[in-house]
Structure 1
Amino acid sequence: MKQMYHQVWDLDAIFPGGSESDKFQSFLITLEEDITQFQKDLDCTEVSKSEESLFNIVHVLVRAQEISKRVREAGAFVSCLTAQNTKDDQAKLLTGRVKKLSSSYSSVMTSIDDLLLGLTDDLWSQLLELEELKALTYNLEERRSLAKDKLSGEKEKLIQSLSVDGYHAWGDFYNTIVGRMTINVEEDGEEKSLSVGQAANKMGSKNRETRQYMSDKWEKAWGDEAELFANTLNHLGGFRLQTYEARGWDNVLKEPLDINRMQEETLKVMWETIEKNKPKFVQYLKRKAELLGLEKLDWTDVGAPLTSEVEEVSYDEAASMIVQQFGSFSPKMADFAQKAFNERWIEAESRSGKRPGGFCTSFPVSEESRIFMTYDGSASNVATLAHELGHAYHQHVMNDLPQMAQRYAMNVAETASTFAEMIVADATVKQASSNKAKVQLLDDKLNRSIAFFMNIHARFLFETRFYEERKKGLVSVHRLNEMMLGAQKEAYCDALGSYSPHFWASKLHFHITGVPFYNFPYTFGYLFSMGIYARAAEEGTAFEKQYIDLLRDTGRMQVEDLAKKHLDVDLTQPEFWQKAIDLVAEDVDTFIDLTEK
């Protein structure tokens, strides 16, 4: 049967020629010149106590948003280039250039923050009343408030400048190490060299011996490079801590909470409610172990299929299924997904040289998105595909908003993606042709719940403890392994027979410079999306407009206010979180009931 959809994305529609693109080179040169000139103009701008200053600031904000789009466009393109081919040296050079450019733009925004801080309270009130800025009231007040918490503009610019060859350079170094890593395995009597992305997929094999074999190879590969990864993590953490100390911040959660527009009380209540409910999910882990004939599941057994007879889903079948299920809730969402498949917005081919993992990145100038993953036909891959399409749709419904109002936080970004994933996962369970198939699909669905409640919790515990130890000095590989194992055992309630001591090295999220604590927002998004999903299940396609309205507000509200406005719930109280967890717990009960029969 002829393949309907391409599994290799089309980047030429954005900038033809890949890392050798002349169009992209011209784009960068013009952007660099514009940022340099903008900074010069800002350096000459003075805030007077007159209304004329307000019109100057309006012009500055319009100009800043236009340049912001182009900076994001460049960043998205180089991230795609380095992901599709980790050995593309030219793409790595472009990445360094774009990061320097991004730092220059951050300095521009720091200058703008100084302008906003220089306004009297009376002029500030007048500025927010201007018709041209009505849609940015929240974002401007947020910028001014956050700027007050930081150092002077000149000192913040120095930090941004030093971060290019310091902070961000360590993140680049991590990617360089991963890019040159290969994992050598023996298959069918032949030696093969796998990328880390291909090796990661094989750890989800139907065959337990294969999983264990790959797990041993995996741990050894990351262990062999552990000293380098420890350097990366220690210096990233050190840079952050020194910056926080200079600003007078004593709570390492301040920055991630600010980024996610979220109160610490909300985070605390969410984790407390999850911990109270973990015994229910330990039941699921124990039952799965019984079904696999094990006393306890090992680390690689958690996501393993229950039977070797699991059918693989072709890419075309996955695409059709996703479009159909999206349509049952939102015709607009289905049309968007169809467009993404038709126009080759998705890189899914399984080949060597690709980086591991999956992501969605958006091109605000082109008003398109691109999705990256390595598809191998598993139910988990189908879920990932739906998940990333949810991200892309989120951006799509915000494209007409001012650029500053489009910058939504990671926690609500994960809401849209997880919601999309739930639509597909729930439908496949309900439409299963047999109890055996239903059990396998439920298992895959519950495995994602375990990831959010336990795996992500382990990451959060590890990172919190890492920063406390890093304040005292460098943390050794041995100690990093100890902390990782301790966090995993606590998060999984010691329900597993083995863990992954080098997870701190193999998980990219610990080494990303853009977002500290790249963990708890996933769990927030998962449970928040469950609340939205419950509402959508009640109202069907009638909920489509309300859902789009919620997504469009994600870039201009605190999450607590967003939840109150669109769902009428209080996120600082356990009731919302408990109801969301109860929905997931129903899957555990169904799974145990079906496996008893």
Structure 2
Amino acid sequence: MQKHKYPQKWDLDSLFKTLGELAQHIALTEHMVDNLVAEAETANIHNPYETKKLLDSLGDIRIHLSQASSFTACLIAQNSRDPDALSLQGKTAALNSRYDKSEKLVQSKMTTLTSDAWEQLLAAEELDDYRFLLNEWRKKAKWQLSEKEEKLLADLSVDGYHAWGQFYQTLMSSIKISIQLDGTEKEMSVGQAINLRSHPDRTVRKRAHDALEGALKEKEELFAKVLNHIAGFRLEMYKRRGIDNVLEVPLQENRITKETLVTMWNAVTKYKAVFAGYLDHKAKLFGNDKLQSYDFWAPATSTPQEIPFDEAAEFIIEHFGALGTEMKDFARHAFENRWVEAEDRSGKAGSAFCAGFPLSGESRISMTYGRSISNVLTLAHELGHAFHNHTMKPVGGLNRYYPMSLAETASTFSELAILNAAYEKADSWEDKRFILDEKLKRSVMNFMNIHARFLFEERFYKERQSGYVPAERLNKLMREAMDEAYMDSFGSPSARSWIWTPHFYLTKSPFYNFPYTFGYLFSQSIYASAKTKGPEFEKSYINLLRDSGKMTVEELVMQHLGGDITTPGFWEKGLQLCAREAEEFLGLDNGL
């Protein structure tokens, strides 16, 4: 097979050649918002044609905004101190706020319609593609404030709310961690230090764990202020909107019911014991009663295989191809056209992400590639996000935006496909054990670690309602959540993981945690469908992704998989598959 050389630095110039070009794009988008506001004020909302025109304009503006916001995020990810990028990020944040106000203006006009007028409007053929979205807006009308109050909140959020989220990214990217490695003191980013969790040398893993905890301890009060200010603003905003439970908004935005979420967590808890047994078994391999957190990502073999970036790219391309030609061609195009920033260097963003550029129909991926199987899977995960973006190109602007639960389904499915392919390719006991261990790590992360994040965030917001929560208390909440979620089977958990978990600092919505567990289990069902459908799978999968912005998740699963996610049985099918893998791993180690 011909060997390819894939670049590890992304190409941003093909999106905007200069910062001046980006500034012109932002100015154009501002003009589009001005025109929309003028149209919205005079539009006859009873007229389906005029309503459709407004909705089309909103979608078009959103696409232009995403293009600018994603670009500035990429600039800051590669250099957190770029003053021009930080300035443009401020401009795009302000423009996003203006867009939010214009969208709320359109929504407020919609919600003034009587029930009869509303039904008549929805019956119009012109609005077929927007019917689900309009009904969602109608449900959210109870949260709507007066136009004056909405404007005030939007204005305050730019420098108060969203600015704290942006400050977190800048602060995290600026942290330098000194670690003794290969006989020399090396300065690393948070992302590089986290990558050392899978280093084969236990001394290096512990050293990286301690150095990361030490660096974060020095700044924990500063991070506590950031987190408290984000949560405080959110709670005040929700209070003004009449939202009593902070979980109400993420449930609505994820388009799932509380019944579904409770059913999923109950099913997960029912099956946790087998994964606690897996952790206890691994602890004994390291000579401990409990598995130390810095040993969790340790390779299952003493000489783990290092995987060059080019080899990882070829493996992903090949096995995306087993799912369909479009996925294979897409992955190759992404690698060949420099959509991935994978270079292992300091100064980069600590966490991997995928940024969508809907105007040009592209994506960009940022990560720190450290040649481990974990890095390969992260790469596949982010490409799953990018493929989801790719499938949405024919979809209208407003319907391109899907909930986090489904975003994490697409990414986790891609990761699962690569992991299963690696397992099927393994031909020795040692290789099978290594890959099976990697699969189980992901089950533990989704069933235990993500549950810990959920419990932490739920309890933090409850306490934040009564006032400021200091760093010491946040550390205690994190430890308690970890002990409960891991069934007390984890030693030395990172009490400061609330600092290096960026999801707690997202200003769009709280509780960016349960969507991962949802996506992990949902992806198991989709993968099972891929195995049974064969060549027909890719078409049905793309249709599912394209519908991800047009219906509730309960409706989507029922329509495309015939499953009822409000029942324990749906979740237990995936959990049983994962539990069998834990039993198989223990069987391999016991020589069965």
TM tier, smaller:
over 0.9
Aligned-pair CA distance for 1:99:
0.6
Of 151, 162, 178 in structure 2, the residue corresponding to residue 157 of structure 1 is 151
TM-score (norm 2): 0.97
Q: Which moved more, 1:171-180 or 1:485-494?
A: 171-180
Given that 1:201 and 1:376 are in contact with CA atoms closer than 8 Å, whether structure 2 keeps it comes out as: yes
Aligned-pair CA distance for 1:126:
3.2
Alignment of structure 1 residues 436-475 onto 2, 5 Å: 436-475=430-469
Aligned-pair CA distance for 1:505:
1.1
Given that 2:23 and 2:88 are in contact with CA atoms closer than 8 Å, whether structure 1 keeps it comes out as: no
- Change in Cα spacing, 1:426 to 1:2, as seen in structure 2 (3 Å) is closer
- Change in Cα spacing, 1:412 to 1:88, as seen in structure 2 (3 Å) is same
In 1, Cα distance between equivalents of 2:470 and 2:335: 46
1:170 aligns with 2:167: no
Matched with 2:17 is 16
**How large is the Cα RMSD of the aligned pairs?**
1.5
In 1, Cα distance between equivalents of 2:43 and 2:310: 58
1:297 aligns with 2:291: yes
User: Aligned letter for 1:100?
Assistant: A
Alignment of structure 1 residues 330-341 onto 2, 5 Å: 330-341=324-335
Matched with 1:267 is 261
TM-score (norm 1): 0.96
User: Aligned letter for 1:11?
Assistant: L
Matched with 1:510 is 504
Matched with 1:29 is 27
Aligned-pair CA distance for 1:345:
0.8
User: Aligned letter for 2:37?
Assistant: Q
Given that 1:241 and 1:471 are in contact with CA atoms closer than 8 Å, whether structure 2 keeps it comes out as: yes
Aligned-pair CA distance for 1:40:
3.6
Matched with 1:201 is 195
Of 227, 243, 254 in structure 1, the residue corresponding to residue 248 of structure 2 is 254
Aligned-pair CA distance for 1:569:
1.3
Given that 2:180 and 2:207 are in contact with CA atoms closer than 8 Å, whether structure 1 keeps it comes out as: no
Matched with 2:339 is 345
Alignment of structure 1 residues 204-223 onto 2, 5 Å: 204-223=198-217
Aligned-pair CA distance for 1:127:
2.6
Matched with 2:42 is 45
Aligned-pair CA distance for 1:189:
3.8
Aligned-pair CA distance for 1:188:
3.6
Matched with 1:224 is 218
Structure 1 alignment gaps of length 5 or more = none
Superposed CA offset, 1:144-168 (max 9, x none): 2212333233322221111111111
Superposed CA offset, 1:355-391 (max 9, x none): 1111111111101111111111111111111111111
Matched with 1:357 is 351
The residue matched to 1:323 in structure 2 has which SS?
helix
The residue matched to 1:360 in structure 2 has which SS?
strand
Given that 2:43 and 2:51 are in contact with CA atoms closer than 8 Å, whether structure 1 keeps it comes out as: no
Superposed CA offset, 1:374-430 (max 9, x none): 111111111111111111111111110111111100001111111111111011011
Matched with 2:374 is 380
Matched with 1:420 is 414
In 2, Cα distance between equivalents of 1:138 and 1:263: 16
User: Aligned letter for 2:304?
Assistant: V
Aligned-pair CA distance for 1:2:
7.8
In 1, Cα distance between equivalents of 2:288 and 2:532: 40
Given that 1:292 and 1:306 are in contact with CA atoms closer than 8 Å, whether structure 2 keeps it comes out as: no
Of 308, 321, 324 in structure 2, the residue corresponding to residue 327 of structure 1 is 321
Q: Which moved more, 1:232-241 or 1:31-40?
A: 31-40
User: Aligned letter for 2:143?
Assistant: D
In 2, Cα distance between equivalents of 1:118 and 1:87: 46
Q: Which moved more, 1:476-485 or 1:119-128?
A: 119-128
In 1, Cα distance between equivalents of 2:3 and 2:425: 26
Matched with 1:4 is 5
Given that 1:84 and 1:353 are in contact with CA atoms closer than 8 Å, whether structure 2 keeps it comes out as: yes
Alignment of structure 1 residues 50-69 onto 2, 5 Å: 53-69=47-63
Given that 2:251 and 2:257 are in contact with CA atoms closer than 8 Å, whether structure 1 keeps it comes out as: yes
User: Aligned letter for 1:405?
Assistant: N
In 1, Cα distance between equivalents of 2:408 and 2:273: 25
Matched with 1:183 is 177
Aligned-pair CA distance for 1:102:
0.3
Aligned-pair CA distance for 1:451:
0.6
In 1, Cα distance between equivalents of 2:423 and 2:54: 52
Structure 2 alignment gaps of length 5 or more = none
In 2, Cα distance between equivalents of 1:295 and 1:306: 18
Matched with 2:135 is 141
The residue matched to 2:42 in structure 1 has which SS?
coil
In 2, Cα distance between equivalents of 1:33 and 1:331: 41
In 1, Cα distance between equivalents of 2:535 and 2:297: 33
User: Aligned letter for 1:150?
Assistant: Q
Given that 1:291 and 1:306 are in contact with CA atoms closer than 8 Å, whether structure 2 keeps it comes out as: no
Superposed CA offset, 1:550-589 (max 9, x none): 1111101111111111111111110011111011112111
Of 95, 98, 109 in structure 2, the residue corresponding to residue 104 of structure 1 is 98
User: Aligned letter for 2:274?
Assistant: K
In 1, Cα distance between equivalents of 2:204 and 2:505: 29
Q: Which moved more, 1:363-372 or 1:291-300?
A: 291-300
Aligned-pair CA distance for 1:59:
1.8
Given that 1:205 and 1:211 are in contact with CA atoms closer than 8 Å, whether structure 2 keeps it comes out as: yes
In 2, Cα distance between equivalents of 1:34 and 1:397: 26
User: Aligned letter for 2:288?
Assistant: L
